[in-house]
Amino acid sequence: MSLKKGELKAIVGESGAGKSTLFELILKNISPLSGEIKSARCAQVFQDPYSSFHPSYTLLNQIKDVASLDSLEEYLDLINLESNLLLKLPHELSGGQLQRASILRAMLMKPDLLLLDEPTSALDNVIQLEVMKMLMKNLDKMGMLLITHDKELALWCADEVIKI
């Protein structure tokens, strides 16, 4: 499989099929038994936003640790997130707000490849659509690999759907 800037590919499969393992391989958190994986600078949005932030630091501090804040206001508007929420601790936000903060952090890292593991599962339908549209508008800056159980979402947004 190859993925270029401007492409969004979706991986759809049952639980335990190896979707998350593929992300771990791409991120070099685990090594392949054979073959080779070449990847550019990556950022990941996890399915569970509560496990992707440290509980005792503000969101803004955690974002500043890994990303530039150059496009912060632009992205905040795109994902419908108020800037004052970034001054809070993770447990002070709803699941949807925290997931949007996770997407914000990943986008501000300006990756070549954005790995999305069920990025909208914690969002209501309206915000889910807004976030997916925002992600797709940023395809000119990166390639995206999406893991989802939502086949309709995959068919709607992806250039290619890979079933495993």
At 84 the pLDDT is: 96
Q: Where are the domains of the chain?
A: 8-163
Q: What is the spatial distance between Cα 149 and Cα 92, in angstroms, rounded to a whole number?
A: 28
Whole-model pTM: value is 0.89
CA 113, CA 110: separation in Å to the nearest integer? 9
Q: Are strands 42-45 and 160-163 parallel, antiparallel or unpaired?
A: unpaired
- Looking at residue 147, what is its pLDDT? 93
Instruction: Name the helix (H) or strand (E) containing 116.
Output: strand 113-117
Superfamily the domain 8-163 falls into:
P-loop containing nucleotide triphosphate hydrolases (3.40.50.300)
Q: How many CA atoms lie within 13 A of 115 on its CB side?
A: 19
Average pLDDT for consecutive 10-residue bins of the chain (164 residues)? 92 85 89 87 90 95 94 87 96 90 93 92 79 87 92 93 92
Q: How many CB atoms lie within 10 A of CB 148?
A: 23
Q: Is 77 helix (H, G, I), strand (E, B) or coil?
A: helix
- H/E element, 104: helix 95-108
Q: Residue 8 has what pLDDT?
A: 97
